[in-house]
Amino acid sequence: MLAMIRDKATGWIAGVIVGLLVISFAFWGVSFYSGQAGEINVAKVNDADIPYRSFQRSFAQLRKQMQSVLGDSLSLEEESLIKNQTVEKLIESELINQLVIDTKLNITSDKLIEAIKNIEFFRGEEGFDRAKYERSINSIGMPSTIFEAQLRMDLLSEQLQAGFSETTFVLKPELDNILRLESQSRDITFTILGLPSFIEDGEISESDIQAYYQANPVLFRSDPQTKIEYLELSVKELAKNIESDEEILRNFYNDNKADYDIVEQRSVSKLFVNTGEKAPDEIIAKAKTIITSALEQVNNGDDFEEIVERAPEEKEVILEFSEHSFMSKGIMDKELDEFLFNSEEGATSEIIETKNGFNIIKVVEIRGGPENKFEKYAKEVEEDYKTKQAELQFFELSDQLATKAYENSDNLEIAAEAIDKEIIETDYFTRDNDLEGLLSKPAIIQKSFDAELINSGNNSDVIEISDNHIIVLRVLDYKEAYTRPLEEVSTEVIASIRLKLATNKINEVGDAIVAELKSGVSPEEITSYSGIEWTTAEKVKRDDVSVNRAILRSTFEVGKPSADKPVITSQNLGSGDYAIIIVSNAYDEISEVNEEQKKSTDLKLRRLLSTGEWQDLLRDVRKNSDIRILNENI
């Protein structure tokens, strides 16, 4: 069976892999290969840890998506839900990785390379762009080896899932029944009562406010908060205070010339007509005419690309344009090299004939060779010099910081004096504050809420943000989670009460309208509520995109109307609105179904069934796994 799975990981499944892979990495991050010794974890799946930084990256992305839908302000319940979903997704991802390893599936390096080259995000105008690939991977802080390892795991996971899809089958009676259901349609009339129109601005009594507040304390509970002070030491900041002059920088450049000097290279633009070797005289003559005309236009100051666009269309000979970035000597034809490496920047050649045709070239930019001089690299040399000096200071000061902060554990003042740095004090913040900079770092958040540091008031150990960036912090104050006082949340309480009253009112009015309709009153004669706008839709099907999905579900769930009596139903919508639906006619005729439709429906059913089997497998794997969620780190 495993051999068959490997063979079947193509088609639509391969398309899904290629289309969604980069998005899935950005969203969920890499958990299976990202563990590091001593780092903070949010869960343990059998013997594998899920690091906090994977959780934080995934949580931030999901939270951002939720905010785009629900608005910037999320409730505590919504925040908690996002956290739980994030952890569950990371656990599922780890379980799949372990399942793949246990099944001993394999994928060749050629298949892996092919998958990478087919990812649209890594493609340029001429296909796969290795430079773009490397930039993209580096931009998310991931070595290419880690990316490729996780990609291999994802492809193997898709192989495993493909086995479920390709071995699932649908019986003919089942397929015929689905096709019959898909062909059904209904005539409906509906209206939607909007919840906002039922929210009233009337006074809410103090007793009602007090009662609601006391009955729902969890809705008004704050998150734990902490306030810290810290000392920060980084090479980047130290480098800003390093002094230098031209003599020092020239000496540094001369001592490190190998780091700056490069072989002479030229960037070139080219107009050319390819004739090929041993072209007939007629072709040569046409090529000369075209390239001569192009040279005249160049001498008149016209742009190479504009000249190509205006060139006459010839079947045998074509004027073309190309650009070449920083070519070393010996790459282009020797006739071109002779001009290219003996001309100044900006120089344009006459017509140069080679064995393959005629060329006009322009030296766009020169680097290396005669350009290898201090003035060319002065800014880079200065940055490198300051960084080198700052690194020497950093190693010395970091040792002093660690020693002084440990020896004087109840304050940071002595350590601050030793390294000549100011103590930075923060405002109160929570674990989930959408902060930038240091306070967004997992290690900082973890230490800021560390029970031992909170209780003792001592300095933390040195926290390494990166190889050249460290801090030591101390918790100044900690506030436990508490129910915010009524004075602080009264506006929220009143809004919640009004929403609850509006929900009760809309249900009451909706039910009254339904009762009238069921008693035989026509939609136009409804008296229990005025200003209703009814919408009629004829022969709507289950997949009709013009009608609300919840209304469609209710339409096909309530059964069929009789000849003289419509079916009347209602539905509370997720938005809080209230829908009233009248189903007047049902159509069960089966339209002509061609083979293409049958194949498409069969594929959709098999996907659905295989997804269900896959989820059953994951539930079974989870049931038999040792999973621990470390809530204290979330």
Rounded average pLDDT over 323-349: 88
593 pLDDT higher than 70: no
Q: Which amino acid is at 300?
A: N
pLDDT of residue 530: 81
Instruction: Write out pLDDT tens, residues 479-536.
Output: 998 899 999 999 999 999 999 999 999 999 999 999 999 998 888 888 878 888 999 9
Instruction: Write out pLDDT tens, residues 66-82.
Output: 777 666 556 667 778 88
**Rounded distance between C-alpha atoms, residue 302 and residue 40, angstroms:** 62
Q: Please indicate whether residue 613 or residue 403 has the higher confidence score (pLDDT).
A: 403
Structure tokens at 458: 């001592």
Nearest to 321 by CA among 283, 268, 365, 367: 268
Residue 565: count of CB within 10 angstroms of its CB: 10
Q: Please indicate whether residue 100 or residue 449 has the higher confidence score (pLDDT).
A: 449
CB 387 within 8 A of CB 256: no
Highest-scoring range by mean pLDDT, 2-11, 134-143, 483-492: 483-492
Nearest to 627 by CA among 103, 52, 87, 91: 91
pTM above 0.85, yes or no: no
Q: Which range (90-99, 219-228, 234-243) has the least confidence?
A: 90-99
pLDDT of residue 143: 67
Q: What is the DSSP letter of 429?
A: B
Which long-range contacts (C-beta less than 8 Å, at least 24 apart) are formed by 44-47? 44/626, 44/627, 44/628, 44/630, 45/91, 45/94, 45/95, 45/98, 45/625, 45/626, 45/627, 46/98, 46/625, 46/626, 46/627
**Rounded distance between C-alpha atoms, residue 384 and residue 390, angstroms:** 10
Rounded average pLDDT over 323-331: 83
The values of phi and psi at residue 417, to 5°, are -65, -35
CATH topology of domain 262-371: Chitinase A; domain 3 (3.10.50)
The number of residues in the chain equals 634
Q: What angle do CA 149, 152, 154 make, to 5 degrees?
A: 115
Q: Please indicate whether residue 179 or residue 321 has the higher confidence score (pLDDT).
A: 321
Q: Which range (280-294, 309-323, 586-600) has the least confidence?
A: 586-600
Q: Which residues, other chains included, contact 314 with Cβ-Cβ below 8 Å and sequence gap of 6+?
A: 286, 290
Largest CA distance in the chain: 104
CB 31 within 8 A of CB 50: yes
128 pLDDT higher than 60: yes
Nearest to 470 by CA among 143, 228, 237, 142: 237
Nearest to 146 by CA among 34, 245, 42: 34
| DSSP state string for 476-522 | EEEE---BPPHHHHHHHHHHHHHHHHHHHHHHHHHHHHHHHHHTT--
pLDDT of residue 157: 78
CB 103 within 8 A of CB 160: yes
pLDDT of residue 138: 67
Q: Which amino acid is at 536?
A: T
CATH topology of domain 2-174+609-633: Triger factor/SurA peptide-binding fold (1.10.4030)
**Rounded distance between C-alpha atoms, residue 546 and residue 233, angstroms:** 59
Residue 357: count of CB within 10 angstroms of its CB: 22
**For residue 105, what are the CA distances in angstroms to 2, 18, 159, 359?**
7, 19, 8, 54
pLDDT of residue 461: 93
Predicted confidence band of residue 154 (pLDDT cuts 50, 70, 90): confident
Rounded average pLDDT over 420-438: 87
105 pLDDT higher than 50: yes
- Quote the percentage of the chain above a pLDDT of 90: 37
CB 351 within 8 A of CB 204: no
Q: Please indicate whether residue 617 or residue 252 has the higher confidence score (pLDDT).
A: 252
**Rounded distance between C-alpha atoms, residue 628 and residue 98, angstroms:** 16
Rounded average pLDDT over 541-561: 87
**Rounded distance between C-alpha atoms, residue 17 and residue 311, angstroms:** 44
Sheet with 535-540, strands from edge to edge, namely 535-540, 185-193, 578-587, 567-572
Predicted confidence band of residue 127 (pLDDT cuts 50, 70, 90): confident
Structure tokens at 309: 């666009």
Predicted confidence band of residue 310 (pLDDT cuts 50, 70, 90): confident
Helix/strand/coil (H/E/C) assignment for every residue in 90-138: HHHHHHHHHHHHHHCCCCCHHHHHHHHHCCHHHEECCEECHHHHHHHHH
**Rounded distance between C-alpha atoms, residue 40 and residue 162, angstroms:** 35
Instruction: Write out pLDDT tens, residues 552-572.
Output: 999 888 888 887 789 999 999
Averaged pLDDT of the chain? 83
